[in-house]
């Protein structure tokens, strides 16, 4: 009888260990999923930041292109010096 009791206790301890192992495995899986989400969010934010920088550069260059691309009558002409005596 003592042998059967000891065997039952060992099976019970084994089942408890397996249950704890399953809890730990579930926690590991949850952390892996969190890492994937964090990497995705961080990557998206980095891409968005890079895209925002590109957009800002394009906007700044567009302003410059607008100034350069104005027709002659839209540009401010620098005063010309006269060669006929300063008038």
DSSP E strand stretches across the chain? none
CA of 33: how far to CAs of 27, 37, 83, in Å?
10, 6, 79
For position 85, what pLDDT does the model report?
56
Rounded CA gap, 34 and 43, in Å? Answer: 14
- Which of 37, 38, 34 is closest to 26 using CA atoms? 34
For position 62, what pLDDT does the model report?
67
Q: Can you give the pTM of this predicted structure?
A: 0.47
Mean pLDDT of successive 10-residue stretches along the chain, which has 87 residues: 94 97 96 91 73 76 62 56 56
């Amino acid at each position: 009888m003592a042998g059967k009791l000891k065997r039952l206790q060992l099976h019970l301890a084994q089942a408890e260990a397996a249950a704890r192992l399953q809890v730990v495995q579930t926690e590991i899986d949850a952390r892996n999923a969190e890492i994937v989400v964090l990497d995705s969010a961080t990557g998206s934010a980095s891409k968005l930041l890079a895209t925002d920088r590109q957009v800002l550069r394009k906007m700044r260059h567009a302003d410059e292109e607008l100034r350069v691309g104005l027709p002659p009558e839209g540009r401010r002409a620098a005063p010309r010096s006269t060669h006929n005596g300063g008038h």
